[in-house]
Structure 1
């Protein structure tokens, strides 16, 4: 298939582009490179541009005879979304609608959407199933949920076929070690821990130690980025094979506290890593753990990296060989 990957120079997007190409798909990447990295696109064809540009989208759909879109382009930081909700609604919802409209006009039928567990808010049950009420506690989750809602209505009205993949915490790096996680600023736990291990930070700030969890720190479900990429392929194959539109959770089903992650990273790097506790971060639920039975039973997905230590080891390999991230 010919596939447009928006945000394909970003962390999860670039790993998915590699998997698509490995599976024989033709890929064109659309990324404005504000947070993505040109050096992360090792495969596929990169076009610098933005999903706000309707004319460019329609040009790419026609020129590359696009069959499907994988939509990663978005703002994705919880704390930032609380401070800057306008930016998040504009980037994630307004631009997302522009993409949907361009797809409808160009008769591009299939969409695999990068969503998030943040659509659920504070969980009423753990692990969280897809049937759990969606009640986001931050604008990031709210904007992802808003576009999911639009996709449903576009499906009913215009025949758009979609799969929404609700990630829990993406982590790790490709085992080849040439692409990995590089955000500016970095807000994700595992790369921050490894920056401490590299001596780039004196300690790790832990946001809150008074949550109702085993050690007072937040609990999260970590999933390897390549397992996410595999799930995107399975979702696309299912849509192309006639499966109905649907939303799927993606996680390993195991919850780890922040301190669990820090201890495990210490085992990987071979020393204890210093921490400093600070106030809670606005918008953070205490516990997010995935119930991923649906995607396993319906699409046959099975994570290849279920162990936290294995995930961190792949991330450490990337950070050791790229201590400053991608070349700027």
Structure 2
């Protein structure tokens, strides 16, 4: 049984999808028209600083992932489940035909803008903590007084991201090292994603989402928020809103799909982040990665054969 998974923010790089420029020309043109700038040029040529701006990154990764998905879908290989890491959940919804590609561009652009505006520059921070379990890290976050910090991404065994006010993240990071964390890596972001500092913009985002037509998904989407499958339009919309201020339970999402019989994961989109995480969650499953046309043709042969 196969699952398609889609990467989130942080997987972008200049030059991604360059070999898709001809076959995905229509998608890049549609996205560029909506965004008001040449998205293909930004993806293929950069500069990286512009590509890294959240409001640009989100529609860029979505377009590249969807372009690869569309090309791969021609092979007739279809998933039993889909899932995405944070932003990747929107590509998963596109795979399930929950909304149109143009609506997905508008939604991810707005999502990026709202996330960027949620906190003043420098107030929020995130850090990856390696080598501590969820319970220990949760207790550390709760012990920090006067500054807010919480768990944001439960990625795989021994890798949890914390998010919150910059000082709260700094204090929790220090305490995590004292409690035996192998390493703490501050993330190069100014946005404290997937924590309660996003609650206010999440409400505005929910109102924005209601201006679009959502369909029930044709494929079960395993939601980041609860790590269970959702198909109904209303449940998907609600999960998108909650996802902004709730932790991404990626490890639980992968375990859920495996418990349902998934033994093959195909990561579709830039980078190989999810493939690495899945390997650490369960090394017995088959994992493929598609981030260019060469990968796409190789995986077609492997999976079909």
| TM-score for the superposition, normalised by structure 1 | 0.26
| TM-score for the superposition, normalised by structure 2 | 0.27
Structure number with higher helix proportion? 2
**Taking CA–CA contacts closer than 8 Å with sequence separation of 6 or more, which of the two structures ends up with the larger relative contact order?**
2
